[in-house]
Amino acid sequence: MKKAIWRLTIRGDFAAAHALRHYQGKCEDLHGHNYLVEMVVEGETLTPDTELVADFTSLKKELRAELATIDHKYLNELPPFDVINPSSENLARYLYVRMRERLASLPVRMHSMTVGETPVQSATYQETDD
């Protein structure tokens, strides 16, 4: 028997500065991006009344609140990026974990988090049970 899964996608953005340590190129210097974020969550059941996996409004509110904590900041000064590089890969993992915690009370689970420094390049983080 096949199992039904719905995936919901929420997009957001934030602006921040960073410098990539040990990069040996111009990105090692302080610079900024208008980051694009795509969060994908999934669920297996619909609510009986509204037939939704989760309310988009609640998901957007939580993502916006988390992004506000890093918006218009110098990422290298914020934990954990004061120790690890504020790369798109590390930002995607950081936001994935933070959003998993924020969404714990909702009937969804994190599927993936994508962070792009430009519209044409991004890094996606997800976890598997494999």
CA quadruple 99, 81, 118, 15: dihedral, nearest 10: 80
What's the confidence (pLDDT) of residue 30?
94
pTM for the structure as a whole: 0.95
Taking the C-alpha atoms of residue 93 and residue 107, their distance in angstroms, rounded to an integer, is 21
- In this structure, are strands 73-74 and 6-18 parallel, antiparallel, or unpaired? parallel
- pLDDT of 130 over the 80 cut: no
Residue that the structure tokens 């890094």 belong to: 123
1 confidence band (pLDDT: 50, 70, 90): confident
Q: What is the pLDDT of residue 105?
A: 94
Give residue 65's pLDDT: 98
Q: How far apart are CA 17 and CA 40, in angstroms?
A: 25
Reply yes or no on whether the pLDDT at 129 is more than 90.
Answer: no
Q: Where are the beta strands (DSSP E) in the chain?
A: 6-18, 31-43, 73-74, 109-118, 121-125
- Domains, the chain, with CATH or none: 6-125 (3.30.479.10)
Of all residues in the chain, what percent are helix, strand and coil, respectively (each to 5)? 25, 35, 40
pLDDT at 86: 97
- Judge contact between 99 and 92, C-beta under 8 A: no
Q: What is the mean pLDDT of the chain?
A: 96
Q: What is the pLDDT of residue 127?
A: 97
Interatomic CA distance for residues 115 and 7, integer angstroms: 18
pLDDT tens by residue, 16-48 = 999 999 999 998 999 999 999 999 999 999 999
Percent of the chain exceeding pLDDT 90 equals: 94
> Tens digit of pLDDT for each residue in 54-75?
999 999 999 999 999 999 999 9
For the chain, give the number of residues. 130
